[in-house]
Amino acid sequence: MEETVDTRPAITPEEFTELRTLQAQQTFLQAQGYQVYNFIANLDAQYAEVQQNYEARVAQAKEQLVTLETELSNLNEGFRARFQEIVTAYGFENVDSVSIADTEPHFISPVDLSAPEAAVEG
């Protein structure tokens, strides 16, 4: 058998081990970077979904608020009309404000808004 002599330069086993170690660290860090990138991408997707859900819930709440405000306005108008109808039937059509007693009999009394209320002594 013939022996061949290679004249190319060769690195030492220690240098080879050092380069392989550095290469392994590089591969490991690249893998970690990929994992972090995926983690961030997943967070972005989750954030977008949460934001969409939030915006949808805010829109729904605003719609509900408009509905409630409309119902309240209608109820207030109905209350004022019925209140005026009732107190007018008892002769209070030209009075700015009236008071109705909470206990029976439910007396209706005019309220003078220009006079300060008298202090109640006890």
Considering the domain boundaries, does residue 26 fall inside one?
A: yes
pLDDT confidence of residue 11:
93
Q: pTM for the whole thing?
A: 0.53
Look up the domain containing 87 and give its range.
13-96
97, 117 contact by CB (below 8 A)? no
Considering the domain boundaries, does residue 40 fall inside one?
A: yes
Considering the domain boundaries, does residue 91 fall inside one?
A: yes
% of residues, the chain, pLDDT over 90: 61
Considering the domain boundaries, does residue 59 fall inside one?
A: yes
Considering the domain boundaries, does residue 52 fall inside one?
A: yes
Backbone angles phi, psi at 100, to 5 degrees: -115, 125
What residues does 99 pair with on adjacent strands? 109
Tens-place pLDDT, residues 45-59: 999 999 999 999 999
User: What is the DSSP code (8-state) at residue 96?
Assistant: S
Considering the domain boundaries, does residue 79 fall inside one?
A: yes
Number of domains in the chain: 1
